[in-house]
Amino acid sequence: MADVFYTSPAATWLDGLPLGNGRLGAMVLAGDSTTRLQINDSTAWSGSPASEHRRGRISAGPAATALADARSAIVDGRPVDAERILEQLQSGYSQSYLPFADITLQLHDGLRLQERRLSLADATHRTLADGPGGSVTQDTFISAVDGVLVHRLSSGSPVSVTIAVSTPLRETGRTNRRNGVVLELKLPADVAPGHEPDEPALQWEIDGVGPLEGTLCLAARHDGSTAQNDDGATVFTAVTELLLVVATGTTFTAIGREPEGSAATCAEAAHRCAYTAIEKGWDALLADHIRAHRELFDRVSVTLTPGPDALPDREHVPTDMRLEQANAHPAGVLTADPALVALLFDYGRYLLIASSRPGSLPATLQGIWNEDLRPPWSSNYTLNINAQMNYWGAEVTGLSECHEPLLELTEALAERGRDTAATLYGARGWTAHHNSDAWAFSSPTAGQASWSQWPLAGAWLIRQLDEMRRFGSATPEQLERLWNLAVGAAEFACDWLIDDGGVHLNTRPSTSPENCYLSAQGRAAVATSSAMDRTLITELFETVLALADAVGQPHHPIVAEVQAALPRIAPPAVGADGRILEWVTPEVEAEPTHRHLSHLFFAYPGNGPTPELTDALALSLDRRGDDSTGWSLIWKACLRARLKQSEKVADLLRLMFRPAAEANGPHAGGLYPNLFAAHPPFQLDGNLGFVGALAEMLVQSHAGIIELLPALPAELPSGSVRGLIARPGIAVDLDWENGVIREAALTPRRAVAAGEYLVQLGDRIELVTLAFGRRTVLTDLDSPNTTSMPIKGKASLTS
Nearest alpha-carbon partner for 674 in 296, 322, 342, 332: 322
* pLDDT score of 284: 98
Q: pLDDT, tens digit, for every residue of 451-492?
A: 999 999 999 999 999 999 999 999 999 999 999 999 999 999
How are the residues of the chain apportioned to helix, strand and coil, as percentages rounded to the nearest 5? Answer: 35, 25, 40
Lowest mean per-residue pLDDT among 80-84, 195-199, 464-468 = 195-199
* pLDDT score of 785: 43
Residue 761 pLDDT class (50, 70, 90 cuts): confident
> Is the Cβ–Cβ distance between 281 and 289 less than 8 Å?
no
Give the other-Cβ count within 10 Å of 167's Cβ: 18
Over residues 179-190, the mean pLDDT reads: 95
Residue 666 has pLDDT above 80, yes or no: no
In angstroms, rounded to a whole number, what is the distance separating the alpha carbons of residues 721 and 723? 7
In angstroms, rounded to a whole number, what is the distance separating the alpha carbons of residues 444 and 436? 10
pTM: 0.96
143 by Cβ neighbours in 10 Å (0-12 / 13-18 / 19+) ranks as buried
* pLDDT score of 585: 92
| Domains along the chain with CATH numbers | 3-45+95-297 (2.70.98.50), 58-83+380-625 (1.50.10.10)
Residue 780 pLDDT class (50, 70, 90 cuts): low
In angstroms, rounded to a whole number, what is the distance separating the alpha carbons of residues 727 and 750? 12
Q: pLDDT, tens digit, for every residue of 485-516?
A: 999 999 999 999 999 999 999 999 999 999 99
Residue 252 has pLDDT above 50, yes or no: yes
- H or E segment to which residue 265 belongs: helix 263-280
Residue 723 has pLDDT above 80, yes or no: yes
Q: What percent of the chain has pLDDT over 70?
A: 97
* pLDDT score of 781: 58
Mean pLDDT of the chain: 95
Q: pLDDT, tens digit, for every residue of 307-334?
A: 999 999 999 999 999 999 999 999 999 9
Nearest alpha-carbon partner for 237 in 222, 253, 216, 218: 222
Residue 157 has pLDDT above 60, yes or no: yes
Provide the 3-class DSSP secondary structure of residue 587.
coil
Q: What CA–CA distances, in Å, run from 61 to 65, 68, 71, 418, 444?
A: 6, 11, 16, 17, 17
Q: What is the dihedral of CA 109, 114, 120, 121, to 10 degrees?
A: -120
Over residues 98-127, the mean pLDDT reads: 96
* pLDDT score of 228: 87
Peptide bond into 18 cis (omega under 30): no
Q: What is the 3-state secondary structure (H, E, C) of 349-405?
A: HHHHHHHCCCCCCCCECCECCCCCCCCHHHHCEECCCHHHHCCCCCCCCCCHHHHHH
> Is the Cβ–Cβ distance between 618 and 373 less than 8 Å?
no
The dihedrals phi and psi of 728, each to the nearest 5 degrees, come to -100, 35
- Strand duo 124-131 + 112-119: pairing: antiparallel
Provide the 3-class DSSP secondary structure of residue 69.
helix
Residue 177 pLDDT class (50, 70, 90 cuts): confident
> Is the Cβ–Cβ distance between 534 and 572 less than 8 Å?
yes
What single-letter DSSP state applies at residue 440?
A: -
In angstroms, rounded to a whole number, what is the distance separating the alpha carbons of residues 684 and 665? 19
Over residues 222-246, the mean pLDDT reads: 92
- H or E segment to which residue 725 belongs: strand 719-726
475 by Cβ neighbours in 10 Å (0-12 / 13-18 / 19+) ranks as exposed
